[in-house]
Amino acid sequence: MNHDMVVRQKMTERYLLDELDPAQRDEFEEHLFDCQNCADDVRAGAIFVEKSKVVLAESPAAALVPAPAPASPPPGWFAWLRPAFAMPALAVLLAVVGYQNLVTYPQLEQALNRPQVLPFASVNVGTWGAGGPVITTAPGKGFLLFVRIPPDSAYARYTADLYNPAGKLEWSLTIPAIASQDQWPVQVPGANRESGTYTMAVRGVTAAGESKEVGRASFDLQIQK
C-alpha cells in the first residue's frame, strides 16, 4: 500500500470510520507507521477532535442551546467531529506517539551519541593551485574540514562562507582569531548535497568591524551512493 493509493481511496477517513475490512485495516495500519504524511494527518485530525471537545465542553452557551436534530456531517475533515471518530483517532495518535518514544527517538539519540569516524580533508586558505583535496562521503552524511588560515594580527575574527558547486552560499561560520593558532577543525553537518567542487571563502574582520577577504580554498566532494 503506497501513499498515492491511500489518498485516492481516502483510506485515512475510511479507517477512522471503521469502514475498512480486516485485511485493508491491517495493511493501512502497517502503512501508517511507515508514512509520515499519513501519521501527521491522523495526528492532526485527532488533535482537532480533542480540542473541539474541550472548547464545546467549556462553552457556557452550549448547555443552553437545544441540541439540533442529527444531520449527516459534511465530507472531509469535518466528518471527524462525529463522536464515533474520536476513539479510533485517539488510539492511532497514542500508537504513533508510543512508537516515536519507544523506537524512533531512542534510535536517533543512540546515533548522536555513538562515536563516529568522519571523512576529512585539510584546506589551506590563500593557497593557489589547480584542484583541491577530495572528500568521499555517503549521502546525507557530514565531514570534517581542517581549515588553515594565515595568521594576521590585524583581524579580531574571521568569517568562513561555504559555497556549493552552483555558487550558492550554504552557510557562514565565525572563527575566532587566535595568535597561536592557524588551523581550525570545522565539522560540516550532514545535508542533501550533490557531488562537485565546493569553495570556502574566508574574510578577516577587524575590531572596528571592517571586513576583507583573506583567501579562498576549494575541495571536491564525492557522494558515494
Cell of 165: 558547486
Secondary-structure percent of the chain, ordered helix, strand, coil, rounded to 5:
40, 25, 35
User: DSSP characters for 5-42?
Assistant: HHHHTTHHHHHHTT-S-HHHHHHHHHHHTT-HHHHHHH
Q: Which CATH superfamily, name and number, covers 120-223?
A: Macroglobulin (MG2) domain (2.60.40.1930)
Where are the chain's structural domains?
3-113, 120-223
Residues 6 or more apart in contact with residue 43 via CB below 8 angstroms: 92, 93, 96
Report whether 29 contacts 18 (CB < 8 A).
no
Average pLDDT, the chain: 75
67 or 26, higher pLDDT:
26
- pTM of the complete model beyond 0.75: no
Position 37 pLDDT exceeds 90: no
In whole angstroms, what is the distance from residue 199 CA to residue 132 CA? 10
Q: Put residue 134 in one of left, alpha, beta given phi > 0 → left and psi -120 to 50 → alpha.
A: beta
Cell numbers 577577504 label which residue? Answer: 213
pLDDT tens for each residue of 165-197: 999 999 999 999 988 888 999 989 888 899 999
